[in-house]
């Protein structure tokens, strides 16, 4: 179980690196006026989005394996504590955020972004708040 937990943490950390950095690229794209620089930022964003999408998959798989190892397999199904329900809700919201990043990237690629760099600066804070909440739920287990 410790190997699975270690791998889960590594892939979650790697996925979050992308969730933190991609919106920073969006900030720069929203401010950029030079075509060459915009193309370079779009290339970086595309590669990062593809890579972080690949990293999200094993993060989710190892998390589900941990969930099953800890709470599954018994008669009557899984009986999950409240903090896990809250964590899973936040994970689903993070997956939505991840996909929203993909939609934003496609808008930048089409040249139809309508948002300011300030909006993207605030958008960039969402995964920070989510990570804080998830870590508190996992470590403190408040309910």
Indicate the pTM of the whole model: 0.94
CB 135 within 8 A of CB 13: no
CA distance 92 to 129: 14
* pLDDT number for residue 73: 64
pLDDT at 74 over 70: no
CA distance 40 to 29: 10
| Domain segments of the chain as ranges | 2-7+14-25+34-68+80-140
pLDDT at 87 over 90: yes
CB 75 within 8 A of CB 30: no
Q: What sign for the dihedral angle of Cα 138, 140, 141, 143?
A: negative
Provide mean pLDDT across the span 72-101.
90
* Residue 76 banded pLDDT, cuts 50, 70, 90: low
pLDDT at 75 over 80: no
């Amino acid at each position: 179980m410790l190997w699975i937990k270690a791998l889960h943490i590594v892939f979650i950390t790697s996925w979050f690196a992308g969730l933190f950095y991609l919106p920073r690229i969006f900030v720069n794209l929203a401010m950029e006026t030079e075509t060459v620089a915009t193309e370079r930022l779009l290339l970086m964003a595309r590669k990062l989005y593809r890579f972080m999408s690949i990293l999200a998959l094993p993060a989710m798989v190892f998390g589900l394996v941990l969930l099953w190892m800890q709470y599954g397999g018994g008669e009557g199904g899984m009986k999950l504590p409240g903090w896990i329900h809250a964590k899973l809700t936040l994970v689903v919201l993070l997956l939505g955020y991840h996909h929203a990043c993909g939609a934003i990237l496609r808008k930048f690629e089409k040249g139809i972004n309508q948002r300011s760099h300030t909006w993207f600066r605030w958008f960039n804070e969402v995964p920070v708040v989510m990570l804080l909440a998830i870590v508190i739920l996992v470590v403190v287990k408040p309910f």
